Amino acid sequence: MHSDIIKYCSNFVELTTQDKEILNQAFQPTFVQRKKFLLKEGEKCGFIAFIASGVIRHFHIKDGEEITCDISVGPCFITDFASFNKNIPSKFSFQALKDTEAFCISYDDLNQLYNQSTALEQLGRIMAENVAERSTEMSLALISQKPEERVQHLLASRPELFQLVSQRHLANLIGITPESFSRIRSRISKKP
Amino acid sequence: MHSDIIKYCSNFVELTTQDKEILNQAFQPTFVQRKKFLLKEGEKCGFIAFIASGVIRHFHIKDGEEITCDISVGPCFITDFASFNKNIPSKFSFQALKDTEAFCISYDDLNQLYNQSTALEQLGRIMAENVAERSTEMSLALISQKPEERVQHLLASRPELFQLVSQRHLANLIGITPESFSRIRSRISKKP
DNA sequence: AAAGTAGATTGCCCTCGGTCAATAAACCGT
DNA sequence: ACGGTTTATTGACCGAGGGCAATCTACTTT
């Protein structure tokens, strides 16, 4: 629902009635059917999307292969900041893995919105900080842990993903092949 | 110099005379001698630091080993958002590799500053977006490229680092051992 | 200048994960 | 329910990178 944006954002900042009004008007509802795309690599990512419900897979194509680099489960915000801010083609595609209810706002509308309310500007900052935090943590995991540790960490920290997405995508996410992912899993379940 | 903050920030937002005044007052100068620490892992990172000049190595300790996960060359801002925002112990140490001129602001002072000026709130958002962008790119490189590609990319994109930091640190940064780093480099210089 | 410490390089061996291929199972569209 | 496609698992083989140790060099420290 449209009002989910309000509910979600209220977790981070205090919104006035007017702020809520602005949010409601600025975000355009966009339904994305399972397997369809919210963004295709090479296009400009001219929006920030609030994913009210559903699941979005972020992937990049390398040597003809899709590399899944993130899985976003609603409610959350997604965008490609590099493309969004610099107005350049995106390196990523956003594909729905489940029917997804999204609400999008364009660059210009967003900046206008930022100028109208400090709470919203603050919200934008907090969202960016959260992305920064998450991907810093992800980089650290990738350079400091071995594949087997990363599998264990994934099992422990995001078990819900195993119902939502295929193992080949999960394997990409932690930088290994689907075959290794399968082998490591079976190795883990035998040993412990 | 203190005024470097103003110069740097002006690249991102328009600052009024008053904004400049506020910035000057809010940031406390902190000199960090080569090899000394701006932050030690386990402490709370209660500040955002503007690095006016110098070089800071970010590292995390894993199994008793230092894992260098970022190198920040001034001018730039650094912090650990996870620790800073949630007020929890940091997973990182910040060590100066060169004598470093930093200017720090505390959490409370920063939030006060955000309330005083939308330009500064905006600045905070843009800094966070930049971190998000950089570390998203870093994660992608780690999951989509092989060690040899990452070495080549590092050589191409940040050659200046080879003068500033030891190879063992650069090796960590791209998730390989110093020995492999050395071997891959010599392999590269022979082949093409 | 000497001694001691840290970094870089190289060799050897080994392991883990990558690659390729075959099979089996689950999923999909019609 | 059917045939076709995608996915998961397993096997066999291989090779890049890891681990360890020895050597050599460069840098600090006194």
Q: Which pLDDT score, from 0 to 100, does residue B2 have?
A: 74
Q: Which pLDDT score, from 0 to 100, does residue B177 have?
A: 97
Residue with tokens 């997405």: A165
State the DSSP H helix or E strand holding residue B92, giving kind and residue range, or none if neither: none
Residue B180 Cβ < 7 Å to strand D: yes
Q: Which pLDDT score, from 0 to 100, does residue B158 have?
A: 95
pLDDT category at B126 given cuts 50, 70, 90 is very high
Q: Could you give phi then psi for residue A117, rounded to 5 degrees? A: -155, 130
Q: Which pLDDT score, from 0 to 100, does residue B1 have?
A: 67
Task: Give all domains of chain A, ordered by start, each with its CATH number.
Answer: 4-116 (2.60.120.10)
Q: Which pLDDT score, from 0 to 100, does residue A146 have?
A: 96
A43 Cα to chain B: minimum distance (Å): 17
Residue B167 Cβ < 7 Å to strand C: yes
Whether B189 has a pLDDT exceeding 90, the answer reads: no
The nucleotides of chain D lying under 7 Å from a protein CB are 6-12, 16-21
Residue with tokens 């002006």: B10
Per-residue HEC secondary structure of A98-160 comes to: CCEEEEEEEHHHHHHHHHHCHHHHHHHHHHHHHHHHHHHHHHHHHHHCCHHHHHHHHHHHCCC
For chain A, say whether B76 makes contact (Cβ under 8 Å): no
Looking at the partner chain, which of A132, A142, A145 has a beta carbon nearest the beta carbon of B132? A132
* Interface mutation vs chain A, best among B90, B113, B144, most A CBs within 10 Å: B144
- Point out the residues of chain A with pLDDT beneath 70: 1, 191-192
Whether B96 has a pLDDT exceeding 90, the answer reads: yes
- Residues of A with CB below 8 A from B174's CB? 143
Q: Which pLDDT score, from 0 to 100, does residue A2 have?
A: 74
Which nucleotide is at minimal CA–C1' distance from B148?
D16
Looking at the partner chain, which of A62, A129, A139 has a beta carbon nearest the beta carbon of B139? A139
Distance spanning both ends of chain B, measured CA to CA? 45
B179 in Cβ contact with B81 (< 8 Å): no
State the DSSP H helix or E strand holding residue A64, giving kind and residue range, or none if neither: none
Amino acid identity at A162: F
Whether B103 has a pLDDT exceeding 60, the answer reads: yes
Render pLDDT for A74-129 as a digit per residue (tens, 0 to 9): 899 999 999 999 999 999 999 999 999 999 999 999 999 999 999 999 999 999 99
Which nucleotide is at minimal CA–C1' distance from A169?
D7
Render pLDDT for B5-35 as a digit per residue (tens, 0 to 9): 999 999 999 999 999 999 999 999 999 999 9
* Cis, peptide link before residue B75, omega less than 30° from 0: yes
B184 in Cβ contact with B177 (< 8 Å): no
Q: Which pLDDT score, from 0 to 100, does residue A38 have?
A: 96
Interior/surface letters A92-116, b for 16+ CB within 10 angstroms, e for the rest: bbbbbbbebbbbbbebebbeebbee
Query: Within 10 Å of residue B169's Cβ, how many Cβ atoms?
Result: 20
B130 in Cβ contact with A129 (< 8 Å): no
Render pLDDT for A82-91 as a digit per residue (tens, 0 to 9): 999 999 999 9
Q: Which pLDDT score, from 0 to 100, does residue A68 have?
A: 96
Which nucleotide is at minimal CA–C1' distance from B176?
D17
User: Under DSSP, is residue A11 helix (H, G, I), strand (E, B) or coil?
Assistant: coil
Render pLDDT for B129-174 as a digit per residue (tens, 0 to 9): 999 999 999 999 999 999 999 999 999 999 999 999 999 999 999 9
